[in-house]
A and B are shown apart, each in its own frame.
Chain A
Amino acid sequence: MSQPAISFSGVSKRYPGGYQALADINFTIDPGEFVFITGHSGAGKSTLLKLIAAIERASSGTVLVNGQNVSTLKAPGIPYLRRNLGLVFQDQKLLYDRSVFDNVMLPLLATGQPHRDAMRRARAALDKVGLLERERALPVALSGGEQQRLCIARAVVNRPAILLADEPTASLDDEYAATIMEMFRSFNQVGVTVLIATHDRSLIEHGQPRVVTLGHGRLAT
C-alpha cells in the first residue's frame, strides 16, 4: 500500500494556442481514497482527469497511476492503463445503436473475457446500478439518471482499481444525484479509489471527504 494510486508532481498543461489549463500541480491520492476535485468551471478539473487517463498529456511534470508514468507512456500502453480505470463522463459517451446490455459488454469484450463470464459480469454490474430490468432497452429509452447509471455500470464492469467521474451529476436533479453518489460510495467501500470532479459543493457536504480545490489551474488547498 506504499505506492500511491495517483500522484501528480509539478504537472502543467498548456493547450495548443497557449491556454494554460493547469500549472504546477502536486498531490497524491492513496489507494481506497474518496476524493473530490472542485473549482469553478474552467478551473482545470476535466483536464486533470484527462491527464490521469492519458486522454491528454502533461506539458511538463510527472503523472503516476499505480506507479506507472503516464507522461511517458507510449501509445500501445494506453489501453492497458485505461483498463485499470473506470471512466464516467458528463456526456456519457454511450453507444446509442446498441442495447443497454451490449453497452456494458463492450469493455469485457475488448479485454477478451470469456463470453459466459462476460455476460454474468455485465448482468451483475447492471444489477448494482438497478438497470437489470432494462438490459434490452436502447439507451435513448432511458432517463438522464438511468443513462448516467448505465455509464457507471460500464465503468465498473471491468472491476477497475480507480474510478474517475467528471461532473457525474451535472444534469440530474437532487434525488438522482444522491443515488449516484451513494453508488460511488459503495464502490469506494469495497476498495475502489474514487475521484470525482464537480463544481457542485452540495455533493461534498455528506461525510468528511477529502477535497482538492482548483482555481485557475492551480491548487487552492
Chain B
Amino acid sequence: MSAWLRHHSQSLWQTLARLASAPFATLANVLVIAVALALPLGAYGLLVNLQGFSGSLPTEPQISLFLSSGGSAPDVATLEAQLRKAEGVRGVRFVSRDAALAGLKRAPGMAEVISSLRDNPLPDAFVVTLADGDASAAERLEKQFRALPGVAHVQVDSAWVRRIDALLRLGRTTVLLLGTLLGFALVAVTFNTIRLQVLTQREEIEVSKLIGATDAFIRRPFYYLGGLLGAGGGLAALGIVALSFSLLNRDLASFGTLYGVEVSLQFLSTADAITIVFFAGALGWMGTYLSVSRHLHHIEPR
C-alpha cells in the first residue's frame, strides 16, 4: 500500500518535471484545451447571468389593463368583479395611478425624471394573473377585456418573458451541444498528445517492461500527464472566461451608466469552477486511457 502511494507521488512529480522540462509544448497543449473549453464555458457563464436576470421576473402569464383616465371608484369596483368572473383568471390586482407612480420612482434613474413632471401621467391599471400559460387563453382574455367599458389598453405582459424562457432553453441546448462537442475535442487532443508521448518514451517503456515493471506502473505517469493537461486546460479556460468577463464588464458599466442602471456579469460560482477543473481533468484522463490502451501494447521488447 505504501509502495503504491509512493509510486503515485513519484509519478506525479516525474510528470510535473517532464511538463516543466518542455514548457512551450506544455503551454501549447494546455492552450489548445483551454480554448476548446473556454467557448462553451463562456457561453455557459453568459447563460447563467441571463438566467439570473430572467429569474427575477415573474414568469406566470399576466395581462395588464390600463383604464381610461377619469374613471370613478364604482367603475373600478364593477370592473374588478367582472374580471374576477372571467374564465381562466387566477388573481386580480388593482394598481392605482398613484401607486404606479410611487413604484416608478423607486426604479433606478427614474426619480429625477418623475419629479420633473407636473402631474401624474399614469392611468389606473389592473394586473390580471392567468391560471395557465396557454397562449390561446391569454389571447381570448385579451380580446374579452378590450371590449370592457373603461378599458383603454390591454397588454399581455408575459409574452416576452416566455420568449426569454424559450431563448434560454435554446441557449442551454446550444451550450450543452457545444460542451459535448468540445469535450470530445479535449479527449481527442489528449489522446494524440499521449500517443506522441508514448512514442517519445518508447525506449523507456521497452526497458521498463524488460525489468519487470507492471502495466499499471508504466501507465500511471501517462494518466497523470493526461489528467494534469486536462485540469490545467480547465483552469486556463476559467482564466480566459474571467478575463473576457472583466473586459465585458468594463464596457457594460459604461453602457449601463447611459441608462442609469448597473449591469455586470457575474463570474461562475466557485462550485462551478471546481467542477469544471475536475471534469476537464477527467476528460484528459479518459483520452489517456483510450490512448495508452491502444498504443502501449504495441511496444514490446525484442
| B:198-217 near A, CB below 8 Å | 203-204, 206-215, 217
Stretch of B4-12, B37-45, B106-114, B260-268 at the chain-chain interface: B4-12
CA distance A80 to B211 in the complex (A): 9
Report whether over half of chain B's contact residues are helix, strand or loop; otherwise say mixed: helix
Query: B4 contacts A112, CB within 8 Å?
Result: yes
CA distance A87 to B211 in the complex (A): 8
Question: Which residues of chain A are near B6, meaning CB under 8 Å?
Answer: 112, 114-115
Stretch of A102-110, A141-149, A204-212 at the chain-chain interface: A102-110
Size bracket, chain A contacts: 20 to 34
Question: Which residues of chain B are near A80, meaning CB under 8 Å?
Answer: 212
Chain A 154-186 against B: per-residue CB contact (8 Å), 1 yes, 0 no? 100010000000000000000000000000000
Residues of B within 8 A of A (CB-CB), count = 22
Say yes or no for A82: interface residue by CB 8 A criterion.
yes
Query: A76 contacts B302, CB within 8 Å?
Result: no
Closest residue of B by beta carbon distance from A160:
B212
Query: A112 contacts B204, CB within 8 Å?
Result: no
Query: B207 contacts A109, CB within 8 Å?
Result: no
Chain A 84-117 against B: per-residue CB contact (8 Å), 1 yes, 0 no? 0101000001110100000000110111111100
CA distance A109 to B10 in the complex (A): 9
Chain B 160-190 against A: per-residue CB contact (8 Å), 1 yes, 0 no? 0000000000000000000000000000000
Query: B3 contacts A93, CB within 8 Å?
Result: no
Query: A95 contacts B204, CB within 8 Å?
Result: yes
Query: A110 contacts B3, CB within 8 Å?
Result: no
Evaluate whether A154 and B211 lie within 8 angstroms (CB atoms) in the complex, with A55-B301, A95-B203, A112-B3 already known: yes
Closest residue of A by beta carbon distance from B218:
A110
Q: When the two chains form the complex, which single residue of A81, A85, A114 contacts B3, counting CB atoms closer than 8 Å?
A: A114
CA distance A25 to B18 in the complex (A): 46
Question: Which residues of chain B are near A75, meaning CB under 8 Å?
Answer: 215
Query: B210 contacts A93, CB within 8 Å?
Result: yes
| A:50-86 near B, CB below 8 Å | 53, 55, 75-76, 78-83, 85
Least CB distance from B221 to A in Å reads 11
Query: B207 contacts A158, CB within 8 Å?
Result: no
Question: Which residues of chain A are near B301, meaning CB under 8 Å?
Answer: 55, 93
CA distance A114 to B10 in the complex (A): 11
Evaluate whether A55 and B302 lie within 8 angstroms (CB atoms) in the complex, with A79-B214, A82-B212, A110-B213 already known: yes
Question: Which residues of chain A are near B209, meaning CB under 8 Å?
Answer: 78-79, 82
Least CB distance from B70 to A in Å reads 93
CA distance A81 to B300 in the complex (A): 15
Query: B206 contacts A76, CB within 8 Å?
Result: no
Question: Which residues of chain B are near A110, meaning CB under 8 Å?
Answer: 208, 211-214, 217
CA distance A162 to B4 in the complex (A): 26
Query: A107 contacts B3, CB within 8 Å?
Result: no
Closest residue of A by beta carbon distance from B207:
A93
Question: Which residues of chain B are near A158, meaning CB under 8 Å?
Answer: 211-212
Least CB distance from B92 to A in Å reads 76
Most buried by A among B206, B207, B302: B207
Closest residue of A by beta carbon distance from B300:
A55
Least CB distance from B164 to A in Å reads 58
Closest residue of B by beta carbon distance from A107:
B211
Query: B208 contacts A106, CB within 8 Å?
Result: yes
A-B contacts, 17 of them at CB < 8 A, read A55-B300, A55-B301, A76-B214, A78-B209, A79-B212, A79-B214, A79-B215, A93-B203, A93-B207, A106-B207, A106-B211, A109-B10, A110-B212, A110-B217, A111-B213, A113-B3, A115-B6
Since A85-B212, A93-B206, A95-B204 are in contact, a sample of 13 more A-B pairs with Cβ atoms closer than 8 Å, ordered by chain A residue number, is A55-B210, A55-B300, A55-B302, A78-B209, A79-B212, A79-B214, A82-B210, A93-B203, A93-B301, A106-B211, A107-B212, A114-B6, A115-B6
A residues lining the B interface (CB < 8 Å): 53, 55, 75-76, 78-83, 85, 87, 93-95, 97, 106-107, 109-115, 154, 158
Of all A-B residue pairs in the complex, the 8 with the closest CB atoms, nearest first, are: A112-B3, A110-B213, A83-B212, A82-B212, A107-B211, A79-B212, A79-B214, A93-B207
